[in-house]
Chains A and B, each alone.
Chain A
Amino acid sequence: AQSVTQLGSHVSVSEGALVLLRCNYSSSVPPYLFWYVQYPNQGLQLLLKYTSAATLVKGINGFEAEFKKSETSFHLTKPSAHMSDAAEYFCAVSGSGDYQLIWGAGTKLIIKP
């Protein structure tokens, strides 16, 4: 069965510092991978997705993620954190052609001024 592991329920970085949110997946088929962001009292918003094209995927708000098959990872990064990035981030995986998304438990990103 597919699963997603997000390392760290909370990550705290200083404003202007590098953001790194970790996601590892297990999948028996080449996956589609997603990062979503959830602001308080709002719905989940797609940040970026990997669908077997380029392994480095650029998303909205300056975020990007790199698919590394050998490490079964899809970590999310942003070079310089902004206060507005404070939110909860979820990694999700689906099998090719599979509509079901399997989600990680989420990582709450805290930005220190």
Chain B
Amino acid sequence: GAGVSQSPRYKVAKRGQDVALRCDPISGHVSLFWYQQALGQGPEFLTYFQNEAQLDKSGLPSDRFFAERPEGSVSTLKIQRTQQEDSAVYLCASSLAGDEQYFGPGTRLTVT
């Protein structure tokens, strides 16, 4: 079946621009996660949804980052006024039962 998909796969933004990254989870998966993966590092947790409810946003690095999942399926991670330190791969994962997470291919964001 279809896995987790993310778009765009690559995004180049000029410093100060706003970006929106999309995640389509596996159909029926209740939980959705966003991670940030800097070059040479493991993923770092950003935020977690259960259906449409954002239950944890403790990992969002600043108030320029916010995420939404209005209908409990597709999610969007938005970064306002991008900075160079935002350059990373943004990973989305979904899960049915809350333990095994299935990951998308990621969006590589480069801020110039």
A45 within 8 A of B: yes
B45 within 8 A of A: yes
> Which residues of B, 37-84, contact A by the 8 Å Cβ criterion?
40-45, 48, 56
In the complex, identify which listed stretch (A11-19, A60-68, A70-78, A99-107) lies at the interface while the others stay far away: A99-107
B7 within 8 A of A: no
Contact residues in A for B40 (Cβ distance below 8 Å): 9, 105-106
Known contacts being A99-B48, A100-B48, A103-B42, is A44 close to B56, with CB within 8 Å? no
Contact residues in A for B85 (Cβ distance below 8 Å): none
Contact residues in B for A41 (Cβ distance below 8 Å): 105
Q: How far is the CA of A90 from the CA of B89 in the complex (A)?
A: 15
Known contacts being A49-B100, A99-B98, is A44 close to B43, with CB within 8 Å? yes
Q: How far is the CA of A42 from the CA of B102 in the complex (A)?
A: 12
Number of interface residues of B (CB under 8 A): 24
Measuring CB to CB, which residues of chain A are less than 8 angstroms from any residue of chain B? Answer: 4, 9, 32, 36, 41-46, 49, 51, 90, 92, 94, 99-106
Contact residues in B for A90 (Cβ distance below 8 Å): 42-43
Tell me whether A105 and B42 are in contact (CB under 8 A): yes
Measuring CB to CB, which residues of chain B are less than 8 angstroms from any residue of chain A? Answer: 3-4, 31, 33, 40-45, 48, 56, 91, 93, 95, 98-106
Tell me whether A45 and B103 are in contact (CB under 8 A): yes
Q: How far is the CA of A49 from the CA of B101 in the complex (A)?
A: 11
Contact residues in A for B56 (Cβ distance below 8 Å): 99-100
Distance in Å: Cβ of A37 to nearest Cβ of chain B: 11
Q: How far is the CA of A9 from the CA of B50 in the complex (A)?
A: 34
Distance in Å: Cβ of B93 to nearest Cβ of chain A: 8
Report the 7 A-B pairs with minimum CB-CB distance, sorted nearest first.
Answer: A103-B42, A43-B103, A44-B103, A43-B105, A105-B42, A103-B43, A43-B104
